[in-house]
Structure 1
């Protein structure tokens, strides 16, 4: 009897120890599982918090500044090709035809100056200037005038898009209205934008292509706002409305700077034109007085030196009055 009692007590003790041990392991496993569940449940919560934080105005401002810096670095590294200049001017990119016309213009100008002045060096200089400098200057003039027209009408295009979004129209329908209602060059550019979207290109990529054809800060701002809104969400009408106000403020500041710097520009123009203008007038009234500079080699050296110094002075004045805004 005593043997059975000892055996029963031993069984109870071993069972109790085993239950405690197995129960403690189960509790540890359960604790680990609960911790894993808590971590897995907290991960989406943290992702949601990060997404919410990314939608704050400070985070959006940081994203805009980062994209602006990246775009400026790309512009600094990339050299402006002749094809890009022709696109900016609104011309069909045809480099071969451009060079043919440039060489023909240079040859005609060089021969004409050589015949009139009887100076081979003057003919070569005129040929180089009209073959290389004048066509590029003309492209720059056309591009600058086209970009100015685009910039002047671009806030109106944004206002049309904002009113369309507030009235319930999709963004693509607003872009179509801009293409139909606004004049060139803004209307045709948005028409090409709509055509690129119609063939399957995304809005971000289509706007990037548009920025390549029309490299303006205003269009770059618009592209960045659209890209950030698609990634983070938010009120697009409010964002574009604020952008329109910023662009109009920039335009007012630009006009104010032009008004304040107009006196300096006029003074620089008069100073730059006065020496060659006086020389031409003296040569027309008294050819013998100025003829020595043309017939004597020493006079030719003086003319070249004076032209070089005048070029340095004009470039210096241009840097002084060329305000970046």
Structure 2
């Protein structure tokens, strides 16, 4: 007992308490700073940063894969549209008479066009017979009236209608862009254009609306527009709508870009027309000179010119000269026709 009391003297107790306090404080400090001292915190931070980078890389890879998939889908669709366009161009060279009449905006039937051709042939033949009394001249004018005048009129009406379509198409696309930005669906925007636009846009978009009512999808209905209006601008519109319907994306942005392209093409066409106007004026003057000379000589010296109408050799000269004139006019027209 005396030994235990001597062992638990105040000095020993103080030392023991000091040691316990030291170990306690040391344990607390070790528990607080052990992660930093052992590098576990840095390791965890590195693991988190690696995980974040991996997730970011995975997301980037996924987005790139989705972009590549969508880009490939768009490229496949463009290739398909290009193949269709080539077929349409090949088919456009052999358009039927009914298709040409429809593109000209006429309500004629094939029978009505034939009747119109016969009437033109009879009228010009009667004029030629009355003016010259020559059978060759009469037959030549009948040929021109039966095969030339009706087809020239049909081609001119078709060209004018296509030009009017190209002039109004950017405005129609702008209406669709504003409607889609305002939250309207594409079908309602097309109906607005069909109701408010000018001809021939009004008629063509009304046909799209009518095709929708028959159960055809809007993209398929618009895809038929280039067959009725064989121009690149109509094909652009069909391609944009078809790609958007299959691949998604912002339709208003795509159509806005299309409207900008259409207006730039229109401005470029105007510049080309202005630059080629001098050549067209020269061709018109050169082509009209023979007719002006014939008219002047007929007034100044009728007996000199009547030999061309009364003599068989003169008739042959008139026919040959007319053919040469037509050949020259055709060549000049091809020389001043610019495509872009």
**Would you say same fold, with TM above 0.5?**
yes
Matched, 1:230 2:245: yes
Matched, 1:75 2:89: yes
2 CA distance for matches of 1:208 and 1:235?
19
8 A contact 1:55–1:233 mirrored in 2: no
Aligned pairs (5 A) from 1:124-273: 124-273=139-288
8 A contact 2:219–2:245 mirrored in 1: no
Measured on the aligned residues, the alpha-carbon RMSD in Å equals 2.2
Question: Unaligned regions of 5+ residues in structure 1, if any?
Answer: 1-45
Bigger mean CA deviation after superposition, 123-132 or 241-250: 123-132
In the TM superposition, residue 151 of structure 1 has moved relative to its aligned partner by: 0.9
Corresponding residue of 1:64:
78
Higher Cα Rg, which structure: 2
Aligned pairs (5 A) from 1:9-158: 52-56=67-71, 60=74, 63-64=77-78, 67-78=81-92, 79-158=94-173
Question: Unaligned regions of 5+ residues in structure 2, if any?
Answer: 1-60
Q: Which runs of 4+ in 1 moved over 4 A?
A: 46-51
Corresponding residue of 1:296:
311
Assess, with a 3 A threshold, how the Cα gap between structure 1 residues 139 and 221 changes in structure 2: closer, same or farther. Answer: same
Assess, with a 3 A threshold, how the Cα gap between structure 1 residues 109 and 307 changes in structure 2: closer, same or farther. Answer: closer
Deviation string, structure 1 residues 70-104 (Cα, Å, up to 9, x no partner): 31333224511110111111122511121112112
For this pair of structures, how many residues does the alignment match?
Answer: 279
Assess, with a 3 A threshold, how the Cα gap between structure 1 residues 126 and 50 changes in structure 2: closer, same or farther. Answer: farther
TM-score in terms of structure 2 length: 0.76
In the TM superposition, residue 124 of structure 1 has moved relative to its aligned partner by: 1.0
Matched, 1:315 2:326: no
In the TM superposition, residue 150 of structure 1 has moved relative to its aligned partner by: 1.3
8 A contact 2:132–2:310 mirrored in 1: no
Q: Secondary structure at the match of 1:184?
A: coil
In the TM superposition, residue 164 of structure 1 has moved relative to its aligned partner by: 1.2
TM-score in terms of structure 1 length: 0.80
1 CA distance for matches of 2:212 and 2:62?
32
In the TM superposition, residue 322 of structure 1 has moved relative to its aligned partner by: 0.7
Q: Secondary structure at the match of 1:230?
A: helix
